[in-house]
Amino acid sequence: MTVHIGAAPGQIAETVLMPGDPYRARWAAETYLQDVELVNEVRGMLGFTGTWKGNRVTIHGSGMGMPSLSIYANELIKDYGAKTLIRIGSCGGMQEKVKIRDVILAMTASSLSTPSAGIFKELNFAPCADFGLLAAAHAAATAKGTPTHAGGIYSSDVFYDERPDLNEQMTRHGILGVEMEAAELYNLAHRYGCRALAILTVSDHLQTGEALPSEDREKSFGDMVEIALEAAFA
């Protein structure tokens, strides 16, 4: 048990999928895992452990934003021995070729700042995904026929952004989508020698203004969860 996770020793698997929304964690666990056990509900942040094709998996919410994810990822890695962490979440599309419900595999995650900035100081560290996970996820997505894009994303500090100039430059430089957690996840994975990948479903679009209704988002994320599970155990 830690400050933010109430699981007992041995209740967290080495492979952890991390959606931002704790209710999405419950939906994914009940939909895709067998023998599911609730292992955390401290502060309403739900975590579940079960099996997928005989492999132990934990699906644990991260909350919104890098500071929240950093808390849970640190404790999952340092106190519970997590070795593979895959973010499964939504993002906003930033390129015309990226469509609503498409999947993005984040090779890199740019940011203005992260909770790790105090460690790096003047260094602009470039966090990236684990290549083995990335390659396996791409293969799984291709086999499923899921429209998928691999490339750079932007992890924002804020949801209600008022920097159209910055969005314009990121679009100009090929950034595929924007979310709020992956850069810090990648920083922590590099720091502690873990594997990490962000697999994201495009739920809205900065260029077209399209957006999925909230009730449709959960139903549209099945491909992303399946790709994450296939990649983790490839």
Query: Domains in the chain, start-ordered, CATH in brackets?
Result: 15-232 (3.40.50.1580)
Residues recorded for the chain? 234
The mean per-residue pLDDT over the stretch 170-188 comes to 97
Mean predicted confidence (pLDDT) in 60-72: 98
Amino acid at 46: L
Give the mean model confidence (pLDDT) for residues 41-60.
Answer: 97
Q: How many CB atoms lie within 10 A of CB 126?
A: 12
pLDDT at 207: 87
181 annotated among ligand-binding-site residues: yes
Tell me if residue 204 is catalytic.
Answer: yes
96 is in an annotated binding site: no
| Residue 219 reports pLDDT greater than 70 | no
pLDDT above 70 coverage of the chain, percent = 97
**Does residue 60 have a known ligand-binding role?**
no
pLDDT at residue number 225: 96
Q: Which of 79, 130, 204, 216 is catalytic?
A: 204
Give the Cα separation of 94 and 59 in Å (integer): 28
| Mean of pLDDT values over 186-209 | 96
C-alpha distances in angstroms, 226 versus 28, 123, 221?
Answer: 10, 36, 9
Q: What is the pLDDT of residue 208?
A: 87
